[in-house]
Amino acid sequence: MTDTLSTSVAHELDENALLQAYRTMRTIRAFEERVHEEFATGEIPGFVHLYAGEEASATGVCAHLDERDAIASTHRGHGHCIAKGVDVKAMMAEIYGKKTGSCQGKGGSMHIADLSKGMLGANGIVGGGPPLICGTALAAKQQGTGGVGVAFFGDGASNQGTTLESLNLASVWNLPAIFVAENNGYAEATASTWSVAADNIADRAAGFGMPGVIVDGFDFFAVYEAAGEAIRRAREGGGPTLIEVKFTRYFGHFEGDQQTYRAQEVAEARENLDCLKRFRSRVTETGRLEEADLTAVDTQVSDLIDAAVDEAKAAPKPTEADLATDVYVSY
């Protein structure tokens, strides 16, 4: 685990930035583990797909983003929301289908979004996001904001025509777009080693005239470094990049999935490859942060999630008056 490259990147980050990165990853983990527990009680409706295990990707990429930048997400979108700064309490309320939710209870887990934060939504359609990000990147380019667009998508979406067309278009138009392929090993119940007809998703970048990078998705610093380079290049007019982040999701495809299609990977990943454990030992062993600082964050995050759940449970549901509102701006 002594990656000198990543260690040097670690020195680019000051203590506050390190602590913020840890807070984001811890918030995602705690949020997802709590949703996992609460879903089992039957109180959370619908389909829920959890991001636990993949925290370093959203966090390492979004650490480089600001209000000029937009992201598009997947059905596994809670982590991307949190990393892009969406309010955690509003997110929890949304997942409970409450009026106080980030989408007023109309979207739910699979469509959770906050446009004011540049978060264009989780997406129920595999491969729905990459074309939209060509559009946000085009807007940033036309408007001269220096902003970038980041499309997070899964190994499943890497086989969709929409994704492949978007990679081509982004190169043809030289867009400030970053395509982050989150390869967690399985699209639903199908292994990416089977469904992706290439050794790596990143290998496909060559066919679209852009750099392709493979990153250890359990290593925040590796993601941070690769994303930093791609985003810098995009902001400077250097065009798109495809980054493949490899890791394992901790939970099933959806909550309730018995996961008979996979054997031992999860226990192994949780024990030895956990991005939070690795981050924690890296920053403490190198003397950058104290254990006590990190433990304090854990407590604060835990309190925040408790409050988010309590408030979500107590919040009102939307009513009949809400059913037909917001279909159009005007009609």
Site residues for another protein per CB under 8 A: 45-47, 97-99, 103, 105-108, 110-111, 123-127, 156-157, 159-162, 186-196, 259-265, 317-320, 322-324, 327
Could you give the CA distance from residue 95 to residue 113 in angstroms, rounded to a whole number?
11
- Closest to another protein by CB, 47 vs 143, is 47
- Closest approach of another protein to the CB of residue 254, in Å: 9
The pair of structure tokens assigned to 121 is 């939504």
In the bound state with another protein, the residue whose beta carbon lies nearer, of 47 and 314, is 47
**Cβ distance to another protein smaller for residue 60 or 105:** 105
Q: In whole angstroms, what separates CA 1 from the centre of its chain?
A: 24
Residue 28 CB, shortest distance to another protein, in Å, is: 21
Closer residue to another protein (CB): 93 or 234:
93
HEC per residue, 94-156: HHCCCCCCCCCCCCCHHHCCEHHHCECCCCCCCCCHHHHHHHHHHHHHHHCCCCCEEEEEECC
CB of 86 to another protein, least distance (A): 16
Closest CA to 114 of 140, 144, 83: 83
Contact 52, 274 (CB under 8 A): no
- The residue among 12 and 43 lying less far from another protein, judged by its C-beta, is 43
* Residues in contact with 59: Cβ distance below 8 Å, sequence separation at least 6, in sequence order: 21, 24, 25, 28, 79, 83, 220, 223
In angstroms, rounded to a whole number, what is the distance separating the alpha carbons of residues 256 and 47? 9
Least distance from C-beta 286 to another protein, angstroms?
A: 35
DSSP 3-state assignment of 47? coil
Between CA 240 and CA 44 the distance in angstroms is 38
* 15 strand-pairing partners: none
**CB closer to another protein, 292 vs 323:** 323
CA pair distance 269, 274, nearest whole angstrom: 6
> Which amino acid makes up residue 97?
G
Tell me whether residue 106 or residue 288 sits nearer to another protein (CB atom): 106
